[in-house]
Amino acid sequence: MSEPPPLEHIPQEPGKGMCNGMDTKHKEDLELAAVYVSDAQHNRNIFFDTEPTAVRLYLLYNHWLLGVLLYFFILVNLLLAVVEQPALVYLPIWACMLVELCCLSVFSGRLVHYAKVIPRDKFWKDPKNICVLIILLLTLVDMIIYGALKATDNYAVRWSRVLRPLLLVNFTEGRQLRRAFRSIRNALPQILSVFLLFIFSILIFSLMALKLFGKRGLKTNDGRPYFTNFLEVVFDLYVLVTTANSPDIMMPAYNASSFFAVFFIIFILINTYIFMSVFLAVVYNNYKKYLKEEVRQLVRTKRHKMVRAFAILQERHEGWEEPVVSHTSWNQLVRLVQSDLSHAHRELLWSVADHHNQGFIGKLAFVQLADLLNIQVIAVKSRPHPLQRWSPALYLSTPSRWLCRAVKHRVFVMIYDVIILVNAVFIGLDEEDPLIGNSEWFFLSLYLLEILLKLYAVEPRAFYSRHNFWNWFDTIIIVSALVATIINTAMTSVGGYSSRQILDIVFTLRVLRLIRVVDSIKRFRVILNTLIKIGPTMLTFAQLIIVVYYIFAMVGMELFHGKLQFFDSESPGKSSCGNPALQDSSFAKMNYCKNNFNNVVSSFILLVELTVVNHGFTAVTHPSARIFFVLFHIIVVIIIINIFVAFVLEAFFVEYTLEKSLLITSLEKKIQELGVAQEQTEPSNLVDAMETTDNDLRTEETTTRLMFKISSTRYRTVDSLLQRMFEADLDPEDFAGEDDPEEPSNLNFSNPVFSSI
Amino acid sequence: MSEPPPLEHIPQEPGKGMCNGMDTKHKEDLELAAVYVSDAQHNRNIFFDTEPTAVRLYLLYNHWLLGVLLYFFILVNLLLAVVEQPALVYLPIWACMLVELCCLSVFSGRLVHYAKVIPRDKFWKDPKNICVLIILLLTLVDMIIYGALKATDNYAVRWSRVLRPLLLVNFTEGRQLRRAFRSIRNALPQILSVFLLFIFSILIFSLMALKLFGKRGLKTNDGRPYFTNFLEVVFDLYVLVTTANSPDIMMPAYNASSFFAVFFIIFILINTYIFMSVFLAVVYNNYKKYLKEEVRQLVRTKRHKMVRAFAILQERHEGWEEPVVSHTSWNQLVRLVQSDLSHAHRELLWSVADHHNQGFIGKLAFVQLADLLNIQVIAVKSRPHPLQRWSPALYLSTPSRWLCRAVKHRVFVMIYDVIILVNAVFIGLDEEDPLIGNSEWFFLSLYLLEILLKLYAVEPRAFYSRHNFWNWFDTIIIVSALVATIINTAMTSVGGYSSRQILDIVFTLRVLRLIRVVDSIKRFRVILNTLIKIGPTMLTFAQLIIVVYYIFAMVGMELFHGKLQFFDSESPGKSSCGNPALQDSSFAKMNYCKNNFNNVVSSFILLVELTVVNHGFTAVTHPSARIFFVLFHIIVVIIIINIFVAFVLEAFFVEYTLEKSLLITSLEKKIQELGVAQEQTEPSNLVDAMETTDNDLRTEETTTRLMFKISSTRYRTVDSLLQRMFEADLDPEDFAGEDDPEEPSNLNFSNPVFSSI
C-alpha cells in the first residue's frame, strides 16, 4: 500500500447507529479498520494491500491455523535431521526427500500468499522474503545435487541443512527472533572492542606462560610436555577462562613451585572475573539500548496504525472541532477484532475510553484501544454451585456451609502442606517396604479428597477457569498418578512384573506433586510469578539457542561424525571409544564416548554440555577443530547466555521497581467504579497476587454475574512485556508522522529488516 | 561531643583581614573548622570531642602515618598464620606469641587513642569498639590457654585466629569494608528467599534422581553405586549447579539411555542458568538499594559537617541577611585543610565558590568546599625545557624544533606500535637462536631511544608528573629489563650459567612491555580507564574476600591439615597423596595432592580454586565435611562474587550513561574563563581522555605558568565514586537537620554500626 486510505467524513447523527444502513462500502471499511487494530494489537508490521480482496486474503494469512501449520512444517523440516544421514532412526533417502519437498512446497505456498497480500514492490524490497526465497532455492539445488551424487554412489554433503533454522528467523512470524538477532548485531561493535582486549590479554598471558613454563621441562598429568607450543597455550588458557580445566592446567606449574599459582590466580581474576563481568555489562547495556529503540519504534508503529483505523471510522460530531468515533462504530469494530469478548467486557472497555460518557471518543482515546485489548481482564462468572441448584436446602444447610468455610480456611491449606511434606519423606524412603508402598494409596486418596472438597466448595467452572494454573496442575498430576499407579499395580499383581517406564512416570508424578508446597508460601510465589511472567520471552531465547545449536550441530556432524563410537557393553573398543587415537585417554576413561556428533540428538546434548563446560576435546582430529569449539563458546556463552542473563536481570528489576501503567490503573478504577470488581484477597504487592485457589474461593454470591479482575501476571504478547519494560522512556503522545501520513519515510514502518543473514 | 559548637558572630569588616589580630581562640576555631572540613572531605564519621586538646589528639589520630602503622600491624597479625602451626616457615611458639603480643599492644594503643578522642559515652555505645575489645581479650585468653597447653605438651587449637580478619572490619578505618558487610547483611532476607526456593528445587530434583536412577544398578566411573543415597545425590546435584562435575555426573545415566539427558538439561537450565541469574538480579538489586541509602546518608552527614564548619567561621556582612564566610577565613581554612594546594589552585577554587566576586560566600557555596577539594585538578607547570635554558639557540633551532614535532607526531607512536608487535613475534620465537637472543639488545635500545627522545621533546618534570601512568610504566619496565638483561648476560658470560629466576624476570618484563600497545588504541583505552577507575573500589572487595578466605582457611587448616601430603619426586606415597583412602583415586591420579590445607599459602590457593570450580573433594574425611565446601560456595560465589559482578555492571552503566556532575562542570567553566585550561587534545568522550603522553606533549609554552585540567578518570576516594554513582538520586539541597543542629537525633550522624560480628 503506497497511499493511505482516503479520509471519510460520514455525516451522521451520533447515537442513531448505522446498523440498518450498513452497505458494502461501510462493511469493507470496518473490516480494514479491524485489520489495522488487530495488527496494532499484535504488533504485526505487514504492509498489506488495502483492496478489499487483499484485505480478506490478509485476514486469511493471519489466521492462527495457517501460522500453526507453517510452524509445524518448519519443525518437521528441522526434525528431518533425525532421520537423515547420520540418522538416529534410519529412513531411506527418497522418503526424507519427499518430506522435505513437502515442507518446501508449504513454505513456497506461504511465501506466495504473502506476496499476494502485500504490494509487489514492497515484497521484492524486503530482504527477509529474498532470504526465504534463496534458502528455498539453495535447498532445492542441494537436494538435486545430493540425490544425483547418492544415486551414483558418490560422497555427498547435505550442506543446505545449515540454512534450515534460518527459516525460523526469516518468516514474518519470527518477529521476536528477528528483533533479538538485530539487537545482537547492533551490539556487536561494542562487544567486539571488549572481546579484542580480552583476546589481547589472553595472548599476553600465553606468551608469558610460554616463556615462564615452556623451558622447565614440566609434564602434564598425561605425560605431554607442558606449555611448549604457543597455540596450545592460548587454547588451554582460553579453556581456563571457562574454568573447565581448572585446576588441572595449573597443577604442573603449581607442583613445581607455589609461586606460579600467582600467575594463574591473576589470570583468572582478570579474565574470568573481570572480563566476563565486563562482557555482561557491555552486552547488557548495548542489547538494552537497541531493544529500547526497537520497542519505541514498535509503539510508534502501533499508534500510527491506530490513527489509520481512526481515520477510516472518524465522523464529525456537531459542536465538536475534532473528528470522533461513535460508540456504534467502535462496538462494531471491537466485535470484528475480538469476537470472543463478552458484551459486558466491551462495555467496560468503552467506559474506560469514553471517560466523560459522551457517546463518542476522540483520537487519543481511540488509539489506546490496542493497548486496552492487550490488558488481560479476567471475567469471572459468579454463578451458583450446581449442587445448590440441584438441592438448595442441602447445600445451604449449616453443616454444608461450615464445610465450605473449612475448605476455604488457611488451616486447610496448611494441613495439606504438612501432608505433602510427610509424603515427601515417604517418597524418599525405600518403596520396597510394603508399608511404604501401600502408603501411596493413602496419600493419593487424601489428594483426591482435597480436590473433591474444593470442587464442593467452589463452583466447578470457576475452579477450572483458564487462569487457575495450580488447580489444573493439581488435578492433572493427581489423576495421572492415580492412573499410572493403578496400571502399575495391575501389572505387578498380574504378571509379577513392573515396567520400569511406568514406574519412572509414577515416581516423577509423585515428586512433581511436591511442587505444590511452593505456591502456598508467599515469598516464593513472588519469585515464581516473575519467572512465569518472563516465560514467554524466554521462548524467544530458546528459539535463538535452537537456531545456533542447529547450525553448529549440522556443521559438527559433517566434521566429526563417526570419529567416536559408543559401546554399550564391555567390548574391546570401549577403552578407546572405537578410535585408536583415544586408547587409554582420559576421555575414554571417563566414559565420555557417548559425547559425540554421531547423530542429531547426541549432537544437541553435546552442545548443551559444551555450553555448560567447554572442554573442547579434539584429540581425534586436527587441532584446528578447536576453532569450532572456541567459536561455539564465543557465540553461545559470551553473547547469548549473557543476553539471557541480562534479560532476566532487567525483568526482575522491572518487577522490583515499576509501577502499574496508567492505562491499567484507569481500567482498574473503572472496574471499581462499576462495582464489578472481584475482591482482591491479598494486598497488591510487588507482583500482584496470582490467580490462586484462595482468590477464587471467595466468589460466594448466588446470582450469576460477571466479575472482572485484571491479570497483571501474564502478558498476552511478548511485545506487551517489552513495552512495559521500557514504558518509562516512552512518550505517550508520540504519534510518529501522524500529521503527514503521505510522507513515505514515515509510512515506511515495516519492521527494520534482518539483512545480514 | 554532645553539643554543637556555639555559633559565633565575629563583627568585622570583610576584606580587612584578620591575620594581624589572630588570637588563640580564633586559631582554635579555625583548627576545629578545618577538622570538620577535612572529615567531610574524607567522609570520616568520628564524633570527636571539640575541646582544643581533643581536637589536636584527633588530628594526630587521623595522621596517615598512624593509619599505615595500624594496617601494617594488622597485616603482620594476619601473616602470623604463615609461621604458626601448621607453618610454612617454622618459627618457635614463643616468637609467634611475642609478635602477636606486639600487634595486640598496637591495637590496644590505637583503641585507647580513639577513646581519648571521642566522648566516653559515645565510645561505649559503639559496637565496633566493643568488638575490637572483645577480639583483643579473646585473643589474649586464647594465647594464654594455648601457651599453657603447649607447655604441658597437650593438644591445643588457636581458635582465636578466626577473629583476626574481623579487626580489619571493626577498626574505624575499615569504613568501606563495614559498609559492604552492612549492605550484604541488609540484602540477606531477599537473597534468602531465592536461596530457599533454589534449595527446594535441588531437593525436588534430587528426590526425582534418586527415584529414577537409584534402582537401576548404574555405576559411576570409579565403580561406586550411582545416585543411591539421598544426601549424596543432593550434594552431587549441588556441585552440578556449579558445573564442576559436568558432564561426569550425567554420563552413567546418559550412557544408560539418551532420554535421561533431558533430566540433566532441565536441571541445568533451571538451577544453573535461571536461578543463578535470579541470584545475581536479587543480590544486585538489594545491594544497590542499600548502598544507595548509605551513600545518601554519607552525603547528608558530609553537608552537616560543612554546616558546622560554616557556623564556626561565619560572620555578618553589612547589607546582607545571611551570615557569610570571608575570603580571608576561607583561605586560612583551606590552607589548614590541604596545605599542599598551590596559591593559584586555591584561588581557582575560590573563584568557583564566589561566583559573583563578592569577597565572601554564603552557606550553600561554602558547603560545596568538601566536594570541590575532592575534584582532582591537575596543575601542570608549563616551564621551559632544561636544555632550552642551558642553550636556547640550540634547542630552539629548526632541526631541534623539527625533532620535537616529529616525536609528538602520530606516526611516531604508530612506528613504535609496529616495533612492539615485531618484538612480540621475536619474544614468541625460540630465544636459544643467537640471532633472536641478540635482537633483545636491539629492541631494548630502541625503547631507550624512545624514552630519551620524549624526554628531549617534553619538559622532564612534566613527563614524569604524578598522573602520567604510562610514562612511569614505560620507564620502569625498560630500565628494569635493561638491568636484568645485563645481569643475565654477565652471569652467562662469566659462569656460563644463567639463573632461571633472573630469566623469569627478564621474560616477564619483556612481555609486560607489550601492554603498551593497548594504550595507543582508543577503543581499548576507554574500557581500560573504566577498569582503572573502579580499581580502588575493587580493593574493598579484595578485603572482603580476604576476610572470608582467612576465616575459611583457619577453619580448614584446623579441620583438614595433614590429611594429604604432597610428594615432589616419585615416592611410594605419591599415588595416594600419603593417605591410604586416596590410593588410586582420581584425585591422586590428577596430581591434586598439593591442593591441601597443610599451610596457609596452600589453603588460600585451594580456596581460590574452590571459588573457580568447587569440586568439594571429601574422600578422606567424614562426608559432613562437605558442609564446609557448600558453605564456602554459598558465601563466596553466590553472594560475594555476585556483588562483585553487580558492582562492575553498575560502574560500567554509570560510565556509559552518566554525565559530568554540576560541580565539575562549573569548575571546568571557571578554568576556561580564567584561561588556565590545558588544551584538551581529544574530544571528551565516554570516559575523558586519560593523561597520556600525547596530552602532555602539547605544553610548548616557554614561560612558567600553571595550567589546570580536571582529571575525571580517577577519584580521590572510593566514596566519591560511590557518590557519583548515585548522584542522580541525591538532592543537592538536602541538608539533614541543618535548621535544628541542637536536635540530638540529627546530630547522631555516626556511621551506622556493623553490629553483627
Closest partner residue to B609 among A247, A504, A511, by Cβ? A247
Q: Is the peptide bond before A247 cis (omega within 30 degrees of 0)?
A: yes
Rounded to whole angstroms, the Cα distance separating B121 from A743 reads 77
Q: How many helices (H) and strands (E) does chain B have?
A: 34, 4
| CA-based torsion, A597, A600, A603, A605: positive or negative | negative
Buried b (16+ CB within 10 A) or exposed e, A686-724: ebbbbbbbbbbbbbbeeeeebbbbbebbbbebbbbbbbb
- Residues from chain A that touch B265, judged by Cβ atoms under 8 A, are 605, 608
Q: B724 versus A477: which is more confidently predicted?
A: A477
Q: How far apart are CA B752 and CA A656, in angstroms?
A: 26
User: CA of A159 to nearest chain B CA: how many angstroms apart?
Assistant: 26
User: Which parts of chain A have pLDDT scores under 70?
Assistant: 1-22, 378-382, 430-432, 466-467, 496-498, 568-574, 614-621, 656-664, 674-722, 724-757
Helix (H) or strand (E) segment spanning residue B709? strand B705-710
Of A566, A567, A584, give the one whose Cα is nearest residue A575.
A584
Q: What percent of chain B has pLDDT over 90?
A: 9
Contact (CB<8Å) A645/B524 = no
B266 and chain A: CB distance < 8 Å anywhere? no
Maximal C-alpha separation, chain A: 98
User: What DSSP letter does each residue of A248-299 carry, written as one string?
Assistant: TTTHHHHHH-TTHHHHHHHHIIIIIIIIHHHHHHHHHHHHHHHHHHHHHHHH
Query: How many C-beta atoms lie closer than 10 Å to residue B39's C-beta?
Result: 23
pLDDT at residue B430, as a whole number: 67
* B612 in contact with chain A, both atoms CB, cutoff 8 A: yes
DSSP string across A562-597: TSS---SSS-GGGGGTT-GGGTT-HHHHTT-TT-SS
What residues have CB less than 8 Å from B339, skipping those under 6 apart?
Answer: none
Q: Is the pLDDT of residue B580 over 80?
A: no
Where do we find the cell 486469511? Answer: A60
pLDDT in tens, B90-106: 888 888 899 999 999 99
Q: Does A221 touch chain B (CB under 8 A)?
A: yes
Cα distance between residue B90 and residue B654, in whole Å? 49
B216–A652 C-beta distance less than 8 A: no
Among residues 641-660 of chain B, which lie with CB inside 8 Å of chain A?
Answer: 641, 644-645, 648-649, 652-653, 656
* pLDDT winner (highest mean) among A712-716, B164-168, B247-251, B646-650: B164-168
- What are the phi and psi torsion angles at B125 (to 5°)? -85, -15
Nearest residue in chain B measured CA to CA from A219: B591
Q: Are B580 and B220 in contact (CB under 8 A)?
A: no
What DSSP line would sit under A30-56, residue for residue?
HHHHHHHHHHHHTT-------SHHHHH
Average pLDDT of chain B is 78
Set of cell numbers at residue A733: 503522545
Are B278 and A204 in contact (CB < 8 Å)?
A: no
Task: Provide the greatest CA pair distance for chain B.
Answer: 98
Q: Do B656 and A251 touch (CB under 8 A)?
A: no
SS3 readout for B482-513: HHHHHHHHHHHHHHCCCCHHHHHHHHHHHHHH
Phi first, then psi: give them for residue B287, nearest 5 degrees: -60, -45
Within 8 A of A216 by CB-CB distance, chain B residues are: 500
> Strand pairing partners for A710?
A377
Grid cell listed for B545:
574476600
Integer Cα distance of A403 and A415 in angstroms: 15
Does position B126 have pLDDT exceeding 80, yes or no?
yes
pLDDT at A733: 56
Residues of B within 8 A of A515 (CB-CB) are: 204
Query: Of B382 and B111, which is predicted with more confidence?
Result: B111
Q: Among the ranges A524-538, B649-663, B688-702, which has the highest mean pLDDT value? A: A524-538
| Chain A residues 45-74 with CB within 8 Å of chain B | none
Is residue B102 within 8 angstroms of chain A, CB to CB? no
B7 at A interface, C-beta within 8 A? no
Cα separation, A628 vs A548, in Å, equals: 13
Q: Taking CB atoms and an 8 Å limit, are A595 and B247 in contact across chains?
A: yes
- Buried (b) or exposed (e) across B110-145, using 16+ Cβ within 10 A? bbeebebbbbeebbeebebbebbbebbeebeebbeb
Chain A nearest-CA distance from B597, in A, is 14
Distance of alpha carbon B18 from alpha carbon B309, whole angstroms: 18
Distance in Å, alpha carbon of A130 to nearest chain B alpha carbon = 36
Secondary structure of residue A360 in the 3-state scheme:
strand
Instruction: Judge: A211–B591 Cβ closer than 8 Å, yes or no.
Output: no
Mutate to test the interface with A, among B239, B278, B647 (most CBs of A within 10 A): B278
Using an 8 Å Cβ cutoff, are A696 and A364 in contact?
Answer: no
For residue A565, give the C-alpha cell: 563410537
Contact A208 B428 (CB under 8 A): no
- What does the alpha-carbon distance between residue B299 and residue B723 come to, in Å, rounded to a whole number? 8
Q: Which residue of A has its CA nearest to B216?
A: A500
Identify which of A638, A604, A480 has the alpha carbon closest to the alpha carbon of residue B264: A604
* B204 touches A at CB < 8 Å: yes
Please name which of A392, A229, A43, A207 lies closest in space to residue B515, comparing C-alpha atoms: A207
Q: How many CB pairs under 8 A join A and B?
A: 197
Closest CA to A348 of A662, A675, A37: A675
Least confident interval from A739-748, B154-163, B484-493, B523-532: A739-748
The helix/strand/coil state of B86 is: coil
Residues in A touching B292 (Cβ below 8 Å): none
* Residue contact A243–B612, C-beta within 8 A: yes
Residue A706's φ and ψ, nearest 5 degrees, are -90, 140
- Bridge partners (DSSP) listed for residue B360: B326
Sign for the CA dihedral angle at B177, B179, B181, B183 comes to negative
Residue pair A36/A308 in contact by the 8 Å Cβ criterion: yes
Least confidently predicted of A83-92, B105-114, B224-233, B747-756: B747-756
ipTM of the complex: 0.82
Closest residue in B to A207 (Cα) is B428
* The pLDDT of residue B528: 80
| Residue B232 CB-half CA count within 13 A | 15
Cα–chain center distance at B728: 24
Evaluated on CA atoms A306, A308, A311, A313, the torsion sign reads: negative
From chain A, the residues in CB contact with B514 under 8 A are 204, 207
- Whether A567 and chain B come into contact, CB under 8 Å, resolves to no
Q: Which amino acid, B679?
A: E
SS3 B169: helix
The alpha carbon torsion through A360, A361, A367, A371 (nearest 10 deg) reads -80
Q: Answer yes or no: do A527 and B284 touch at CB < 8 A.
A: no
Dist CA B427 CA B441 (whole Å): 12
- CA–CA gap between residue A532 and residue A267 (Å, rounded): 39
Asked if residues B415 and B737 have their Cβ atoms less than 8 Å apart, the reply is no
User: Which residue in B467, B533, B476 sits closest to B695, CA to CA?
Assistant: B467
B157 vs B150: CA distance, rounded Å: 10
| Nearest chain B Cα distance for residue A383, angstroms | 37
To the nearest 10°, the Cα dihedral for A195, A200, A202, A208? -170
Q: What structural domains and CATH numbers belong to chain B?
A: 47-171 (no CATH), 392-526 (1.20.120)
pLDDT for res A756: 35
Return d(Cα B531, Cα B651) in angstroms, integer: 9
CA pair distance A256, A266, nearest whole angstrom: 18
The pLDDT assigned to B675 comes to: 63
Quick check: A122 and A47 in contact, CB under 8 A? yes
Q: DSSP 3-state helix, strand, coil percentages of chain B (rounded to 5)? A: 65, 5, 30
